[in-house]
Amino acid sequence: MANILIVDDEVGIRELLSEILRDEGHDVVLAENAAAARAVRNARRPDLVLLDIWMPDTDGITLLKEWSANGQLNMPVVMMSGHGTIDTAVEATRIGAIDYLEKPIGLQKLLSAVKRGLQRPAAPGAPAPLTLAAFTRSAPLRELQRLVQQVVVNSRVLLLRVGPGSIAELAARSVQPKAAPWLDLATVSAALDVNQLQAGQGGVLFVGELARLSRTQQKNLAFALERLERYDLRLVVATDHTLESLVREGWEEALAVRLFEVSLAPPSLADVRDDLPEIAAQLLLHLVEAGEVPRRHFSTAALNALRAQPWPGGYAELRAAVKSLALGTLDEEIALTDVRRLLIPASEGAVAVSLDQPLREAREAFERLYFEHHLRLEGNNMTRLAEKSGLERTHLYRKLKQLGLHGSRRSEEA
C-alpha cells in the first residue's frame, strides 16, 4: 500500500490518524513539526502527506510554499485544520494542496481524501526552477522576495544592480509565474522576432549582465522592451555597470535610461554568507528532485567549507559547484574532503603550471586550467563560456577538444 506522512503537533491526532491508516494497510510515518517533516521529505518521497496548518515552528501553509518553491511538491498534500477559513483553504489549493479537511476529521472524509489523493497521477517532468521562496529561513532573501514582488506588481521592467557574487538569476526566477516561459536574451544571437516573444507570452525575459550584450542583442532588448505589454512579459536585467558607463560603451542613452528607471540592489552571496549552508542544501535537494544527481546530502563540515568560499561567480558558480560535488562523490554524504578535493580555487591551481617547460606546453597547461575553471563557473553552459572567453562557438568546441575537456551542447539552455 501507500507510504503516508502525517504532520501534526498534537500527539493524539497523529496517533488516531496513524491507527486508522495503518488498519487500512498503509505504511505511516509521523512528524510533530515542520522540521521533522522536512527531514522525512528530504530522506524519502511519501506517496501522500496529511499536513496540519497550525504548528508552533513553521505553519503548514509556509511549509507547503517551501516545498512548492524548491521543487519538492511532487506528491499529493491534504491540509488539515481546526481553525480554518475559506481564504486559507483557497490559498492552500492555489499553492498545490489537493484537499482540505476540517478537524475533527470524520472517518469517511479522511478515507475519501486519502483515496482521491492516491489516485492522482504523479506530477510530470522536472521541478520548477528554484526561487527566493525556497529560502524561508534567510531574512535577507525573504526581504528581497517581498521587494521584487512589490516592484513587479507596478512595473514590467526591473534592473538589478549587482557585483561579484550576484544572485540575479535567483531573483529573476522569483518573478517567473509557475510553468511560464523563460528566455535568456543573452543566448539569442540573431535578430529577435515577434514569434519568439509570442512563444514566451506571460513569461520572463532575462539578461544576466547588460555589458556583455552585443549590438544585435542590445537591439533585441530594445525590440522586446517596446512589446512587453502586448505579450504580457516581464523583463529582468542585471549589471554591475552604471548608466553612464554603459552609454560610454556605446549603448543608446534612451534605452539605458529606460532600463534604469526601476532598480534594486540585491544582496550578494557574500552578504548572505551565514545563509550559504541553507542555500547549498536547497540547491542539492532541487538537483536530486530533478534527477540531475544521485541522492546526496552534505555533512556539516562540508557546508561550513562552502560558506567559507568567496563565490565571485555568484549563484551560477555555487549551483555548478554543488552539482559537481554531488556527481563527484560515491558516498551518500558529501564530506569536507570532497569540498577540498573538488573546489580548489583557480589561483591555487595556477601554481601547478611550470614555467620551466616549453612555451607551447605551458600555454596549453594554462588554457586547460582556465577552461576547467570557467566550465565549472558557468555550469558547462557553452553560450556563457563563449561570451566569457571571447571565442566563436566552433573555435571554442575545437579548443576544448584539443585540451581533452568536454562541454555539453545539452547545457546550452541552462
Residue type, 223: F
pLDDT digits (tens, 9 = 90+) for 257-313: 999 999 999 999 999 999 999 999 999 988 988 888 999 999 999 999 999 888 988
Claim to verify: residue 95 and residue 210 sit in the same structural domain: no
Claim to verify: residue 252 and residue 340 sit in the same structural domain: no
Claim to verify: residue 333 and residue 358 sit in the same structural domain: yes
DSSP string, 47-61: SEEEEES--SSS-HH
Of 238, 264, 290, the one marking the end of a domain is 264
Residue 127 lies in a domain: no
Assign 84 a pLDDT band (cuts: 50, 70, 90). low
| C-alpha pair distances (Å), 229 with each of 163, 198, 217, 233, 242 | 30, 12, 20, 6, 26
Question: Worst-scoring range by mean pLDDT, 108-117, 190-199, 392-401?
Answer: 392-401
Residue 237 and residue 172: Cα distance in Å, rounded?
A: 8
Claim to verify: residue 90 and residue 193 sit in the same structural domain: no
Question: Worst-scoring range by mean pLDDT, 62-76, 214-228, 321-335?
Answer: 62-76
Query: Rounded to the nearest 10 degrees, how much is the dihedral formed by the CA atoms of 260, 261, 262, 266?
Result: 20
Domain containing residue 209: CATH number = 3.40.50.300
Claim to verify: residue 136 and residue 191 sit in the same structural domain: yes
Residue 126 lies in a domain: no
What pLDDT was estimated at residue 397? Answer: 84
Claim to verify: residue 192 and residue 63 sit in the same structural domain: no
Claim to verify: residue 70 and residue 152 sit in the same structural domain: no
Residue 352 lies in a domain: yes
| C-alpha pair distances (Å), 30 with each of 9, 101, 113 | 10, 18, 18
Residue 249 lies in a domain: yes
Claim to verify: residue 207 and residue 308 sit in the same structural domain: no
User: Is the pTM value of this prediction over 0.85?
Assistant: no
Domain containing residue 104: CATH number = 3.40.50.2300
Domain containing residue 330: CATH number = 1.10.8.60
Claim to verify: residue 240 and residue 331 sit in the same structural domain: no
What pLDDT was estimated at residue 409? Answer: 47
Claim to verify: residue 148 and residue 258 sit in the same structural domain: yes
End-to-end alpha carbon distance in the chain: 38
Paired residues of 103 in beta bridges: none
What pLDDT was estimated at residue 354? Answer: 63
Q: State the total domains in the chain.
A: 3
Q: Is the pLDDT of residue 167 over 50?
A: yes
What rounded mean pLDDT belongs to the chain?
A: 88
Of 247, 264, 281, the one marking the end of a domain is 264
Q: Which of 332, 349, 339, 333 has its CA nearest to residue 307?
A: 339
Of 62, 92, 119, the one marking the end of a domain is 119
Claim to verify: residue 140 and residue 240 sit in the same structural domain: yes
pLDDT digits (tens, 9 = 90+) for 52-79: 998 988 899 999 988 888 778 889 999 9
What pLDDT was estimated at residue 264? Answer: 96
Containing structural domain, residue 9: 3-119
**Percent of the residues in the chain that have a pLDDT greater than 90, as a whole number:** 59
Claim to verify: residue 407 and residue 282 sit in the same structural domain: yes
pLDDT digits (tens, 9 = 90+) for 7-29: 999 999 999 999 999 999 999 99
Question: Worst-scoring range by mean pLDDT, 144-153, 279-288, 342-351, 374-383?
Answer: 342-351
Residue 197 lies in a domain: yes
> Half-sphere exposure of residue 122, counting CA atoms within 13 Å on the CB side?
8
Residue 68 and residue 62: Cα distance in Å, rounded?
A: 10
Identify the burial level of 365 via C-beta atoms within 10 angstroms of its C-beta, where 0-12 means exposed, 13-18 middle and 19 or more buried.
middle
What pLDDT was estimated at residue 406? Answer: 63
